[in-house]
């Protein structure tokens, strides 16, 4: 069986929800999901805890957990997340940070931490300018995020990330240089400060965006790969850079898409089905609607996934995981700590529960409430990919 | 109460099962078990995880876990399991291994790793021959398992088990001697190699079984006893050597049986009921049928246990545990990772659930999904044998 079986992991970002009124349906329960419901009847259900009870995960920890990596052990720093978010391929000698364009007065005092939220187009032009800064022995990458925000990456051997931030978090004071918090980060401090000096010169006169702030320094996290840990040739299907980036960090091959629609993601699944053992397919719309407080929008996003599900099932996967990286209830307009619905399908499940995929059905499910990091071992077991322990 | 209460643990080997078709009954659900069902109504139900989610346990780890010993901490090596399997009483200065009779040509090259699977009777004769090998300062025990397989035990002080195996895993090469992998195992290497030299001489001309291979070297595991850990006088009732052996390792007294039938096991329980605080009764037939893919046979084996259950209940035990060491679904014809049905009866349970003992009833049970190592503390508590923690 090993090497022959295929696992599909369908992650609806922020899947878990809450009722709008006591006893009412959640987004997932409200959604008309005939295909998910029918699959639930042939599957086992449960609820995943991404980090720990009561803990609301960010997208990084939520994804690491569902991929089987303890999110308390493996941490992706904020700078690295920002770089992943703009689809930057972080390498092992990269030091990333979140950047802001800001305004300083002639004395060098900070007057606006966000440079009046300059238009994204101007941001692009200024990033081009910053990209021309040269420091011997180092390379820099500056990529626009949005408005005043950009991702910053310095590449050179031996750049450690124990650095102070340059954002004083208030105006009326000078913008400090970075300082090394540990001896091993001295080189990184030098390289980054030379870049900041360069930025000051390049941006002189470009008021309001005449200076930069850098924070959230993070070396590129080193994670064992899906091949190392699970002996899986894994592929990732995701539209947003951050999810593509986290998948890349765990050694998945990120598949090219024809477009950014859900149907394009499922098309990529079909196109590449023969080439990999494991597929991670990420759906962003559920989380976006949840964070916007758009209950109906989240319901629709779930229904849209349900409509595509037959395309996945037609490929006859050996194991199907349907779940989320965390909850994003519309009533909270944010990520939340609530455990996340989980469905595990294979031929080897104790199936026959209700034909219903929803928070309450999952709370009564035979998988119970389990750490999200248990999902991958379960998936591997159902795929016949784990050896017996002991004789 | 302590010293007065009695716990009976009824282990159906490989108890957990799977439906043959989606939504269908498992073996346990299919079985007509009026006595277990009635007991379930007066008990609490749950599912045990022997090792970890997704992990399929061997019989050794499965039993250690249900006895309350962390199977990742306490490991019984393969050689030791083989010796236990032929009912050999492993002592603290024993080094065990799995043996094969094999064939070598005149140049000493391996030509058949299994000596053409010689008949078990010939194996017995040859083991008698090997038993006559003498090495100063050491004792040897050679016991037939089946066909070409035998259990080997060397007894001498200071035999450590960090040894290479002598099975090259392919033919056409000489049979190597063992080598010590750590300085502490040098003595064991010498003793074992002298035995191997002796075997070569004794078996000369006994083609095809003219040489031996040894692998899976394992010193006798040292485990705290049931008396040490639980202050329990414990007895074991089991037919197969391996289960008798593991029970002996944790300090249980292994009871003599009048015969090998299930009714003989329950008779031993009745005979010795006054003498012990704890009884482990092992049923093998459930696992045998499961591993043979015999769904109906496993159903029958469970029904046979149910028919005997009133004999146990008539003894008025304070606590009854009914469970398994792992799952062995007939559809998989093997051990599996699925959690195992568990029933805990005492006068102090929150009883009143459905009168049904089966995988889905247990998945909805009030004990939830719990590590198998939690069962013994629960049993002790229900028996009034644990003190309060803290004031």
* Tens-digit pLDDT profile for residues A6-58: 999 999 999 999 999 999 999 999 999 999 999 999 999 999 999 999 999 99
Q: How far is B335 from chain A (nearest CA, A)?
A: 8
pLDDT at res. B3: 60
Mean pLDDT over each residue of chain B, to the nearest integer: 96
pLDDT of residue B384: 95
B151 touches chain A (CB under 8 A): no
CATH class of the domain at A80-219: alpha beta
Q: Where in chain B is the domain with CATH 3.30.70?
A: 79-219
Q: For the residues B327-350, what does the mean pLDDT come to?
A: 98
- On whether any CB of chain A is under 8 Å from the CB of B188, the answer is no
Nearest by CB to B23, from A351, A377, A387: name it.
Answer: A351
The mean pLDDT of B285-310, rounded to a whole number, is 98
A122 touches chain B (CB under 8 A): no
Determine the distance in angstroms separating the CA of A254 from the nearest CA of chain B, rounded to an integer: 27
Mutation site, B55, B64, B73, interface A, largest A CB count within 10 A: B55
Do A386 and B55 lie within an 8 Å CB cutoff?
Answer: yes
Burial (0-12, 13-18, 19+ Cβ within 10 Å), B230: buried
Global confidence as pTM: 0.91
Query: H helices of chain B, where?
Result: 27-30, 34-41, 59-66, 78-85, 120-130, 186-203, 226-230, 241-249, 262-272, 285-291, 295-313, 359-363, 375-382
Architecture of domain A7-75+223-382: 3-Layer(aba) Sandwich (3.40)
Q: How far is A368 from chain B (nearest CA, A)?
A: 7
Fold designation for B7-76+223-382: Alkaline Phosphatase, subunit A (3.40.720)
B359/A contact by beta carbon, under 8 A = yes
Q: Which residue has the tokens 């965390």?
A: A326
Q: Is B91 on the interface with A (CB under 8 A)?
A: no
At A3 the pLDDT is 60
A349–B71 CB contact, under 8 Å: no
pLDDT at B391: 81
CA distance B108 to chain A (A): 31
pLDDT reported for residue B4: 87
pLDDT tops 70 at residue A162: yes
- Pairing mode, if any, of strands A43-49 and A340-345? antiparallel
- Please name the residue that has the structure tokens 């931490």: A113
Top residue of A40, A347, A387, A388 to mutate, by most chain B CBs within 10 Å, is A388
* Interval B101-129: pLDDT, tens: 999 999 999 999 999 999 999 999 999 99
Percentage of residues in chain B with pLDDT exceeding 70?
A: 99
**How far is it, in rounded angstroms, from Cα A104 to Cα A198?**
15
**Among A49, A318, A367, A389, which would you mutate to test the B interface (most chain B Cβ atoms within 10 Å of its Cβ)?**
A389
**Which residue in the set B18, B76, B368 is minimally distant from A350, CB to CB?**
B18
B55 contacts A381? CB cut-off 8 A: yes
Residues on chain B touching A370 (C-beta within 8 angstroms): 53, 369
Q: Which of B178, B176, B198, B202 is nearest to B188 (CA)?
A: B178
Is B78's CB within 8 Å of A391's CB?
yes
Q: Do B324 and B286 touch, CB atoms closer than 8 A?
A: yes
A215-274 tens-digit pLDDT: 999 998 889 999 999 999 999 999 999 999 999 999 999 999 999 999 999 999 999 999
User: What residues of B are in contact with residue A368 (Cβ under 8 Å)?
Assistant: 363, 368-369
Residue A343: partners with Cβ closer than 8 Å, 6 or more residues away: A36, A39, A40, A43, A44, A45, A320, A321, A322, A323, A357, A362
**Are the beta carbons of B76 and A368 separated by less than 8 Å?**
no
- The answer, yes or no, to whether residue B352 has pLDDT greater than 90, is no
Q: Do A350 and B363 touch (CB under 8 A)?
A: yes
CB nearest to B368's CB, from A349, A368, A389: A368
The sign of the torsion formed by the CA atoms of A182, A188, A191, A193 equals negative
Interchain contact, B59 vs A391, CB within 8 Å: yes
HSE at residue B111, side-chain half, CA atoms within 13 A, is 13
Residues A113 and A171: their CA atoms lie apart, in Å, by 7
Contact B76 A390 (CB under 8 A): yes
Q: What pLDDT is stored for residue A391 in this prediction?
A: 78
Give yes or no for a contact between B62 and B50, defined as CB atoms under 8 angstroms apart: yes
The nearest CA of chain A is from the CA of B23 a distance in Å of 4
pLDDT exceeds 60 at position A1: no
Give the H or E element holding residue A286: helix A285-291
Contact status of A368 with chain B (Cβ, < 8 Å):
yes
- Strand pairing class (A149-155; A139-146): antiparallel
Residue extent(s) of CATH 3.30.70 domains in chain A: 80-219
Tell me the shortest Cα–Cα distance from A40 to chain B, in angstroms. 11
Are the beta carbons of A350 and B331 separated by less than 8 Å? Answer: no
The interface residues of chain B toward chain A in range 230-249, judged by CB-CB distance below 8 A, are none
Put simply, whether A37 touches B (Cβ < 8 Å) is no
Chain A residues close to B52, C-beta within 8 Å:
374, 377
pLDDT of residue A4: 87
Are B354 and B40 a contacting pair, CB within 8 Å? yes
Domain with CATH 3.40.720.10 in chain A: 7-75+223-382
Whole-number pLDDT of residue A352: 85
Mean pLDDT of A189-213: 96
CATH 3.40.720.10 positions along chain B are 7-76+223-382
3-state secondary structure string across A324-366: CCCECCCCCCCCECCCEEEEEECCCCCCCCCCCCCHHHHHCCC
Whether residues A378 and B59 touch (CB distance < 8 A) is answered with: no
**Residue B63, pLDDT score:** 97
User: What's the complex ipTM?
Assistant: 0.89
Q: Considering only CB atoms, which chain A residues are within 8 Å of B21?
A: none
**Helix, strand, coil tally for chain A in percent (to 5):** 35, 25, 45
Check CB contact under 8 Å for B78 and A350. Answer: no
pLDDT of B2 reads 42
pLDDT for A2: 41
| Domain B79-219 CATH assignment equals 3.30.70 | yes
**CB-based contact A374 B53, cutoff 8 Å:** yes
């Amino acid at each position: 069986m090993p090497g022959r079986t295929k696992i599909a992991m369908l992650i609806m970002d922020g899947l878990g929800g809450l009722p709008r009124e006591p006893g009412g349906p959640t987004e997932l329960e409200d959604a008309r999901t005939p295909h998910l419901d029918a699959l639930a009847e042939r599957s086992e259900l449960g609820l995943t805890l991404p980090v720990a009870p009561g803990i609301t995960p960010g997208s990084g920890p939520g994804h690491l957990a569902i991929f089987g990596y303890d999110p308390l052990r493996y941490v992706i720093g904020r700078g690295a997340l920002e770089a992943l978010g703009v689809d930057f391929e972080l390498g092992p000698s990269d030091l990333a940070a979140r950047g802001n364009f800001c305004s300083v007065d002639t004395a060098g005092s900070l007057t606006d931490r966000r440079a009046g939220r300059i238009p994204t187009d101007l941001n692009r032009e200024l990033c081009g300018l910053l990209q021309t800064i040269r420091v011997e022995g180092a390379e820099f990458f500056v990529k626009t995020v949005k408005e005043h925000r950009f991702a910053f990456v310095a590449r050179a051997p031996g750049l450690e990330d124990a650095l102070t931030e340059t954002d004083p978090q208030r105006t009326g004071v000078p913008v400090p240089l970075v300082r090394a918090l540990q001896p091993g980060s001295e080189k990184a401090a030098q390289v980054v400060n030379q870049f900041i000096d360069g930025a000051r010169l390049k941006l002189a006169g470009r008021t309001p965006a005449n200076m930069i702030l850098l924070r959230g320094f993070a070396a590129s996290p080193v994670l064992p790969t899906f091949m190392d840990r699970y002996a899986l040739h894994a592929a990732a299907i995701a539209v947003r850079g951050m999810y593509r980036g986290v998948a890349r960090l765990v050694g998945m091959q990120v598949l090219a898409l024809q477009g950014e629609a859900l149907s394009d993601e499922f098309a990529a699944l079909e196109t590449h089905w023969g080439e990999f053992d494991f597929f991670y397919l990420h759906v962003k719309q559920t989380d976006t609607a949840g964070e916007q407080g758009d209950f109906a929008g989240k319901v629709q996003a779930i229904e849209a996934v349900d409509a595509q599900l037959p395309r996945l099932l037609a490929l006859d996967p050996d194991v199907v995981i349907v779940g989320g990286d965390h909850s994003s209830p519309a009533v909270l307009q944010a990520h939340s700590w609530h455990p996340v619905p989980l469905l595990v399908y294979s031929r080897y499940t104790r199936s026959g529960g209700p034909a219903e995929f929803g928070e309450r059905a999952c709370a009564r499910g035979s998988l119970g409430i389990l750490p999200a990091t248990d999902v991958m071992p379960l998936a591997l077991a159902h795929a016949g990919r784990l050896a017996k322990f002991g004789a």
